Amino acid sequence: MDRAGVERWVAGYEAAWRTAGTSRLAGSFTPDVVYRPSPWAEPIVGLAALAGFWEAEREGADEAFDMSSEIVALDGTTAVVRVAVDYHDSGGRWRDLWILTFAPDERCTAFEEWPFSPTQPDGHE
């Protein structure tokens, strides 16, 4: 995996989040993906389980937000990406680190998110 591949993957993730339904997930994640929405969460395993989680977590495909990202590290098939998401309607703000492991076809096999919001007890807002 190279930096351009990681950037394409992140753009695909954002596009999938902004698209109704979950059909685009198969282009970004392997069928046996292991997805952790936080380092402490039980993993969500497989595309079907991820699709259910995905729909439950978002307001909808028309949810207004701005997203930016920066690749922090890349080593072979593993990348660390810093992500900032600001939701327009709710005022929610998130700064995340994503730890991503990729298959040879550039789909993600493992996703671990470290989400931080200023409203968390240690968010200092």
pLDDT of residue 94: 85
pLDDT of residue 18: 85
Assessment of whether the complete model's pTM goes beyond 0.85: yes
Per run of 10 residues, the mean pLDDT along the chain (length 125 residues) is: 97 90 93 95 96 82 84 98 87 89 97 87 54
pLDDT of residue 123: 47
Q: What span, in angstroms and rounded, lies between the C-alpha atoms of 101 and 99?
A: 7
pLDDT of residue 4: 97
CATH topology of domain 3-116: Nuclear Transport Factor 2; Chain: A, (3.10.450)
The helix/strand/coil state of 125 is: coil
**Domain map of the chain by residue range?**
3-116
Q: What span, in angstroms and rounded, lies between the C-alpha atoms of 68 and 83?
A: 6
